[in-house]
Structure 1
Amino acid sequence: MLKRFLQGSIRWQIVTLAVLPIFLVGVLGIMTEPASPEKTELTQAEIAAAQIALVARQVDTAITSDASETVLAIARQAGMEVARVSPVGAPPVEGTDYEIRLLTALENVHGREAVVVDTSDGDLAIVVAVKDGHLSFVPTVMPVPGLNDDVVNIILSVIIIVLPVAFLSIYAARLITLPMTRIAAAADAQNRADPATEMFEEGGPREIRLLAKRLNEMRSQIESMLKERTAMLRAVSHDLRTPLTRLKLRIEQSVEGDPADALQRDVDAINDMINETLSYLRSDAEIEVPRKADLPSLLRTICSDFSDVGYTVSYTGPDRLSLECNPKSLARAVANLVDNGTKFGGSVEVTLKRDLYGAIRIEVADNGPGIPAEIRSRVMEPFEKGDPSRSPSTRSGFGLGLSIVREIMTRHGGTMELAHREPRGLCVALVFPSACRKA
């Protein structure tokens, strides 16, 4: 029955959750009615009033003083605190709700007038008039202050009726919303998942199963379109290499001097654009299995590769720090940032550290012209070069470097931050939150 409920329509699940608690409240109310304090034959105050009235009546009917003393002695043996007082002594006080109920029961039920007074011990006593004086009673069972029959009734109703129904409703509501929560979590993890896997679990209510099925179908269609687009652009970019190679050879054979150098730089720039485009398209197609990597070794290798070809690139950070990641993708992202730094600045500094919140930060800083704050979010978009001040005459690409880095960080569940470096330059930080799996 529970399985049919969970796989049924959301409309009927909501109707069930609306009607079932009402039904349960009615059933529990009928079952717990005998336990209600207001349904007992006598309340505590009424019982105490009956006891006091009984003792007072026995004293009134006693023939001799010895007989009345015997009645008081028996009452004391039964646990009642009773004594003779004459006159009344302390002035009457209002008393608590319990004493008020007791006085009302004495007067209305037993026809006895009584008052409440303070005793020498600080307790409240009930003083009742008898034929030969007054009797002072200190109730032996005193209720908790502020806890009367009505309060007890409300507490019992909450414990016996309201709480079970509330817990049942919360549990049932969670069963209904759990499939939707899973779909939201799957959509959030979309960029970090293997495209071949089925992202959205087709379970739960009928509408949720239909939604998950349609989302999986839509995702498959989008993946297919992206693969076709990537294959086409990669083929076009690859085919451009052949005429570029022929053009480069003809320039070397037929042109000499400055014109040849200018044409050669143009050919190299076009070739760099093709390589950048293929690199960007390859990031869509490749899925790397995460594994534990030593970040200092990875970063030192990148710095050494650039230093070997004449660039000023240095590393600062710990000697050991492991992170479960996609090493090839991460190395590619850092290499793109270092390459950008060498294009626009004279030196690049790569720094590895942990922040105060336990997140791992890889910072790549250059001493170039920097990027204005108002366009930093725009330059991370594909094919966006941003400010012309960071566009040199050579080694210029399509503006895909930062977008590739951002996509790689998204797959890692991290973020990329751009900030101004003092006194000049740009600092790009790759941040892996403390929630990332690391050692």
Structure 2
Amino acid sequence: MNSLRTASIRTQILVLAILLTLLVSVIAATTEPFIFGRHDQGIRIGLLAGHIERVVDEFTQAHSADATANVSRLAEQLGLSVEVLSAKNLPAGGLTVASATNVLQRVRSALEDGFLYTVGHLPDKEDRSRPLIVKIDEDRALLFHLPTFPRYLWFFPAVASGILKIVLPLIILAYVSSWLITKPLIRFAADAKRASTDDGLEMPFTVTGSSELRSLATSLNVMRGRILEMAEARTRMLSGMSHDLRTPLTRLRMRAERCEPAELQKKMIEDLRVLDSMIDEALAFLSNTAYSAPSRKVDLSSLLQTIATDFCETGANVSFSGPRRLKYVCRPQAITRAISNLVENASRYATKVDIELREAVDGSVSIRVSDNGPGLSDDLKVKVLQPFFKVETARTTGTGGGFGLGLPTAEGIIRKGHGGSLVLLDGKPKGLVAEIRLPPLGTTESRGLTAISSAGGMRNIS
């Protein structure tokens, strides 16, 4: 069995087809004699015709009253109802048999019904009486009252034979196929789906199943190793670049601080700050530190309140509303970075930013960062989540601009680090809403709603 599991799919299908043929043959050979031997209407009709032929033969040879009485007793023993008639006064409506040689044919024509007729009359409780007249000679004839057979005697063997020879083997074959062929395919599909995520490459493909699947899994594992090596080399290169760039930036900042005039000094220091921010933002996006940090239970309400307060202290108009306390298992530093990126992006183009925290009945959590800015079109909502994409003309309110990594970084933290999603929606009556949806993990301890005003104070709105 192990060699069959590791064989090629073509070999497995061939073996299963041969198994199906053998299974059908074995089931047919072992069950059909039982089914048709006990329940076939044709056999019952043949036995009845044989009994009638025997009675006809005995009656043909009977030329005395005692012999005729013996024939009547024989018919009674065989379960036949028979009457002696005059061949010159036969009743109408009977089936006349010219001789005893075609009794079987006449009995079959009288009692056998087609499959469709049988199915259509299965609910009938009573059957019509069918007499059979056998003409012995010019003076004598026998009237047999044929018994009525239940219609299921024709229907049952056909259905049972079809179920045992076709349905049952197919069910067995389907079960064996699902275990032998499709189960490794399902496992491989699950591995491929897991590998489609950014963190899924950490676990290799399972090398099991048919030879084709094992060969494919081995090739993908080789590709996975090369991708991981490239990612590690990229991280080492970025770390080296960060270290090498910060040293000359520090020297330039020290020289700029001694530079005159003051206006030139201010511009140089601002440019150096922009360069330093670009390095930090690029490293934060390309590294996995935000996703690999340990998760722990935190109070999301307090965390979001702190973010709103910090932005308010810098002069931004940021408010928070949500439960007084909401415990949730997450990576707090990563969530802080994601929300801060969203708030910072919104504050560049709007005069007011709102952070709203909600918990659904199933325990999932949603965080909405909405602003009163100009908003984005539907096609730009998709593009701004791509790395290094900037839309300087889409949102014109306010000043400043990012490097095209704030929203992609936040989206990566939510999707890869927490299994959630980040979607951009239209605000009402205007603006943009960034909605974070986190899967149900935390619990709510208190339902009191609070809000932080733009000045950073707290007020109860419940």
TM-score when normalising by structure 2: 0.71
Uncovered stretches (5+) of structure 2, i.e. residues with no partner: 95-99, 112-124, 135-139, 444-462
> Aligned pair 1:425/2:431, yes or no?
yes
1:413 aligns with 2:419: yes
Alignment of 1:230-309 (within 5 A): 230-255=235-260, 258-283=263-288, 287-309=292-314
Pair 138,307 (structure 1): closer, same or farther in 2 beyond 3 Å:
farther
The whole-number CA distance in structure 1 between the counterparts of 2:212 and 2:14 is 15
SS at match of 2:356: strand
Which residue in the other structure is 1:43 paired with? 43
Partner-residue secondary structure (3-state), 1:431: strand
Instruction: Note the C-alpha offset of 1:355.
Output: 6.5
1:63-142 matched pairs, under 5 angstroms = 63=65, 108-109=103-104, 123-129=127-133, 136=145, 139=148, 141-142=149-150
In 1, are the aligned partners of 2:350 and 2:397 still within 8 Å (CA)?
no
Instruction: Note the alpha carbon deviations across 1:70-119, whole angstroms, 9 max, x for none.
Output: 9699679x7x89999x9979x89xxxxxxxxxxxx996428679968xxx
- Residue equivalent to 2:12: 13
Could you tell me which residue of structure 1 aligns to residue 209 of structure 2?
Answer: 204
* Unmatched segments (≥5 aa) in structure 1: 93-104
Aligned CA RMSD, in angstroms, stands at 4.5
The answer to whether the 8 A contact 1:106-1:113 is kept is no
Q: Are the equivalent residues in 1 in contact too, given 2:52–2:103 (CA < 8 A)?
A: no
Q: How many residue pairs end up in the alignment?
A: 412
- 1:33: Cα distance to partner? 4.6
| Alignment pair present for 1:154 and 2:162 | yes
Distance 1:263 1:336, change over 3 A: same
SS of 1:128 mapped into structure 2:
strand
Task: Answer yes or no: is the 8 Å Cα contact 2:290–2:334 preserved in 1.
Answer: no
Q: Name which of 136, 139, 152 aligns with 1:144.
A: 152
SS at match of 2:369: strand
Q: Is the 8 A contact 1:350 1:364 kept in 2?
A: yes
Which of 225, 229, 236 is matched with 2:230 structurally?
225
Which residues of 2 match residues 346-361 of structure 1 at below 5 A? 346-353=351-358, 360-361=365-366
Q: Secondary structure at the match of 1:226?
A: helix
Does the CA contact (< 8 Å) of 2:8 and 2:212 recur in 1?
yes
- Normalization by structure 1: what TM-score? 0.74
Q: Does 1:329 align with 2:334?
A: yes
SS in 1 for 2:241: helix
Q: Are the equivalent residues in 2 in contact too, given 1:123–1:138 (CA < 8 A)?
A: no
Q: Which residue of 1 aligns with 2:2?
A: 3
Deviation of residue 399 (structure 1)? 0.7
Q: Distance in 1 between matches of 2:339 and 2:272?
A: 26
Identity of aligned residues (%): 32
> CA contact under 8 A between 1:350 and 1:362: conserved in structure 2?
yes
Q: Within 2, Cα distance between the matches of 1:20 and 1:370? A: 65
